Structure 1
């Protein structure tokens, strides 16, 4: 609370005296504020630790997924004929794909028209079979169009069809004389996406066996091909179900060899991601728990038992062994070598050799043994460690909760002391105001007495 007039009567610098006294009284609050800043820094550090643990847990879970070690990649000897990709756990091997015909979309066209087509109706259907009765393509319905204007043009018919979005593209083609033809093309390939047109416009009708009407420029056609001599057929050139886990794109007639091999690229990336996550966590813990003798500066978590325990458990787990793979027992056996600073470093030569044995390497990371925990794969065990330490009862969670509670108690104590200082300052101000008033009164009396003495001396000569 500011003091604006105190000191006038006494001549004392009361504002300065009060400021110094309040500063002394607030020292315990300043100490609490310093402690609160340190606690908040520790809480932030543990937030970063939990984030890094979560990343490590996720990368470990990826390594612990059995599908990763069954994953294959596909290559084609001739991508201008057939391209291939794996979409699941396709078995490794070589497959000869011979394409005898590719899928094509049906195209129809009308005779040349030199004037308006007039009024009339048109029904367009996408059919699997013409019938009778016609069998509509699954998920489609007939499009019924009515034109009432006798001056209806072929362009207007085109625009109505395209606006309907039924899976047919309409276009107008003009010849040198200016006469127009209406062309209809199915937007999907294969025999299951053929066009049937009926209605009052005889020039636009199309149905097998119908006299007059539209002419078929290109017939709908399914793709015909074989995989290792086994015949297959598809309404689309993008074939996703010819073989489990293998997707093919048929480009043209011809033969290509498709090779499915272990997807070392994806598996190595998963390992690299795990190593990067492990090292990021290890390095952060090392930085936060160290003491620099040169600068005499401690890390934010220096001496913190939870942080030191986590770093110890990481190193211990990384140097342990797993028992279900006959070829690999430790991370170092596949080239993930522990360094002096606690980080992991990949030996590229040994890792490349290990990747040639995906089944055994997969066991090192994915094995799960409910009875003998030491047989669990490293992907499983690091994931479990991440789940445990960050779980509701995990020691990282408990340590963070403890710091949060400590910070709350600190803030409560600061508020209590702040209230006490305000009360003390108010009381002290009143005391100084009273003192100032008293001193002012005494000084006034002293001045009066001095004046009277002076007057008396004058009068007595």
Structure 2
């Protein structure tokens, strides 16, 4: 069989072009399927946008369904000496805090060495850090090749044993000094002793790498920064802390000491967090409504329409949410969203009266709690809306069912398209075979015509015509 590229050679006809036109005409049968596939894919994408907006709204609803939100406490600090954060165990109140001393970490240093990378000699190094529960001992065998200040520094730091090492250049004639620092502040985390025993019996090296916090022994390492505990007063009560992060001085409050001085720490109900949660609820719902409006829009002038215009799933989602919100709550003093400063508008969006909400938060906090989070006997509005959203978003829910239905239809269209592709291929192959036969037939006819013409010309020549 002749290939496509050879079609028309015998006949002189543009059979390749004709075959291409026929194939294009056959493939027009696929266009309705592709259009339908694109429509289903657009709907699946639209369901994804809808799901994202609903998930964000559900996150906002879950926050309002948490009873601890309404009892959460915040701290307000006047002064620069401390910052504070409150846990659920904190109690409301005002506390005067006076910081007289910040906690410091200890540092000790060797005498100077001429070189930082010169080998000093192998030996064993023992460092005792901390007292009581913080006590730990670091034992290191220092090889000859690792006995430079840099090698000793790296060996100490590799152990993560409550002490860090560094090298300082003091600018002197023997400038390099090994500095050891406690990783934590306070006297209980201080380095108690350093002991180096040279394998070669170098007593001078032993002394240069030895320290005792009590000042006994011949070690020449010196304390350059003394360990100190933090000292402060809370409502006149003296408090000592190993750390600048102080827990327990005020129940449920962590104080971070920043500088010496006086501050006032007020622990109070966290109105801001509650206000932000209610505002977030309104904003997230309105974002959903905006997304829904985009997906169901219709432009009369251009005829452009949203992917979910007229979609039954979209109508169901909006109807169920509108019902859940307008139904209000049967728990407590408040029954409707309008009671807490939230209005459900005719277009389905929500508007918030900030002044009314602030008044409710300040004066009717328990009623607000019961409305959204419910009581032991009755679910609140947030729980009702969360249940509705779960039915829409959870596995096997409305959106998953709608999406899986479209995916099944797309699979069916893929199968139909594959069958049609095979049918078109067979049709084009048949056309190609017929064109090849036609090409050969016309070629033979042209040869016969040429032969007969030659014969007639020869006969005329013989007859003198």
The alpha carbon displacement at 1:212 in A equals 7.0
The aligned counterpart of 1:131 is: none
Q: Which moved more, 1:343-352 or 1:99-108?
A: 99-108
In the alignment, does 2:414 pair up with 1:408?
no
Q: Is the 8 A contact 2:125 2:194 kept in 1?
A: yes
Residues 86-116 of structure 1, C-alpha deviations (whole Å, 9 max, x = no match): 3445333212234455434446678x88999
Distance 1:390 1:210, change over 3 A: same
Q: Is the 8 A contact 2:124 2:139 kept in 1?
A: no
1:189 is paired with a residue of what secondary structure? coil
Aligned match for 1:298, one of 290, 302, 305: 305
The 5 A counterparts of 1:89-108 are: 90-99=90-99, 101-106=101-106
Aligned match for 1:377, one of 372, 377, 381: 381
Distance 1:115 1:413, change over 3 A: closer
Aligned match for 2:263, one of 256, 260, 271: 256
The alpha carbon displacement at 1:184 in A equals 5.8
The 5 A counterparts of 1:94-173 are: 94-99=94-99, 101-106=101-106, 123-128=126-131, 135=132, 137-138=134-135, 140-143=136-139, 166-167=162-163
List gaps (5 residues or longer) in structure 2. Answer: 196-202
TM-score normalised by length of structure 1: 0.77
Q: Which moved more, 1:67-76 or 1:400-409?
A: 67-76
1:291 is paired with a residue of what secondary structure? coil
The alpha carbon displacement at 1:61 in A equals 1.9
TM-score normalised by length of structure 2: 0.77
When the two chains are superposed, the root-mean-square deviation of aligned CA atoms in Å is 4.4
The alpha carbon displacement at 1:435 in A equals 4.7
The alpha carbon displacement at 1:209 in A equals 7.6
Distance 1:41 1:163, change over 3 A: closer
The 5 A counterparts of 1:15-414 are: 18-80=19-81, 82-88=82-88, 90-99=90-99, 101-106=101-106, 123-128=126-131, 135=132, 137-138=134-135, 140-143=136-139, 166-167=162-163, 186-197=182-193, 199=195, 201=206, 204-208=210-214, 210=216, 220-228=227-235, 232-252=239-259, 254-326=261-333, 328-356=334-362, 357-367=364-374, 372=378, 375-378=379-382, 380-414=383-417
How many residue pairs get matched?
443
Aligned match for 1:427, one of 423, 430, 444: 430
C-alpha distance in structure 1 between counterparts of 2:359 and 2:413, whole Å: 57
C-alpha distance in structure 2 between counterparts of 1:114 and 1:419, whole Å: 86
C-alpha distance in structure 2 between counterparts of 1:406 and 1:114, whole Å: 80
Distance 1:121 1:136, change over 3 A: farther
C-alpha distance in structure 2 between counterparts of 1:318 and 1:216, whole Å: 69
Q: Which moved more, 1:355-364 or 1:212-221?
A: 212-221
Q: Is the 8 A contact 2:114 2:173 kept in 1?
A: no
Distance 1:221 1:15, change over 3 A: closer
C-alpha distance in structure 2 between counterparts of 1:413 and 1:381, whole Å: 44
C-alpha distance in structure 2 between counterparts of 1:224 and 1:106, whole Å: 17
2:301 is paired with a residue of what secondary structure? coil
The 5 A counterparts of 1:1-20 are: 2=4, 4-6=6-8, 9=11, 18-20=19-21
C-alpha distance in structure 2 between counterparts of 1:337 and 1:25, whole Å: 59
C-alpha distance in structure 2 between counterparts of 1:456 and 1:210, whole Å: 141
